[in-house]
């Protein structure tokens, strides 16, 4: 039987991936899921609380969710979330990464204080 929490995680992680990383590789999308799940675990928060926190993800501000205009990409994002769940069940966590950014867009000041774990696609991943 599917746990209701998993359904909620699937929804929020899929929406987050759509706006943060649609068009990225499966590996890159799975990595972003690990970041959210690692943050939730580290902070003792739910996935939706992590995603909806102020200024954490650029697409979710003031509770306004943009329109989904590419349903095929949304389906790919859902598949990436399921792949991330599979990796989590195998004990994988992307080396505990709990932050990421696209260095072609921004270089946040917090990055200098964290350990870089990897580069996947257009994103650098960090562990606090």
Tokens found for residue 7: 């359904």
In a domain, 69, yes or no: yes
Using a 10 angstrom Cβ sphere, with 0-12 exposed, 13-18 middle and 19 or more buried, the burial of residue 67 is exposed
In a domain, 126, yes or no: no
Q: In what order do the strands lie in the sheet with 115-120?
A: 99-101, 123-127, 115-120
Domain residue limits at 27: 4-92
Helix residue spans in 1-128 (DSSP H) = 4-21, 26-43, 47-52, 71-89
pLDDT 10s digits, 37-76:
999 999 999 999 999 998 888 898 777 889 999 999 999 9
In a domain, 105, yes or no: no
**Predicted pLDDT at 2:** 62
In a domain, 101, yes or no: no
In a domain, 25, yes or no: yes
**Number of domains within the chain:** 1
In a domain, 121, yes or no: no
Tokens found for residue 117: 């774990």
List the CATH number of the domain containing 19.
1.10.10
- Tell me the CA end-to-end span of the chain in Å, nearest whole number: 35
pLDDT 10s digits, 83-117:
999 999 999 999 999 999 999 999 999 999 999 99
Q: How many CA atoms lie within 13 A of 11 on its CB side?
A: 9
Q: How many CA atoms lie within 13 A of 14 on its CB side?
A: 19
**Predicted pLDDT at 1:** 47
């Amino acid at each position: 039987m599917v746990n209701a929490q998993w359904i909620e995680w699937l929804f929020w992680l899929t929406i987050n991936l759509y706006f943060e990383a649609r068009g990225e590789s499966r590996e890159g999308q799975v990595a972003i899921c690990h970041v959210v799940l690692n943050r939730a675990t580290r902070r003792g928060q739910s996935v939706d609380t992590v995603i909806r926190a102020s200024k954490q993800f650029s697409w979710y501000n003031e509770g306004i969710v943009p329109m989904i205009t590419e349903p095929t990409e949304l389906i790919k994002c859902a598949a990436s979330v399921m792949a991330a769940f599979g990796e989590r069940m195998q004990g994988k966590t992307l080396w505990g990464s709990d932050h990421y950014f696209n260095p072609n867009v921004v270089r946040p000041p917090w990055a200098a204080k964290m350990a870089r774990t990897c580069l996947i696609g257009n994103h650098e991943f960090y562990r606090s």
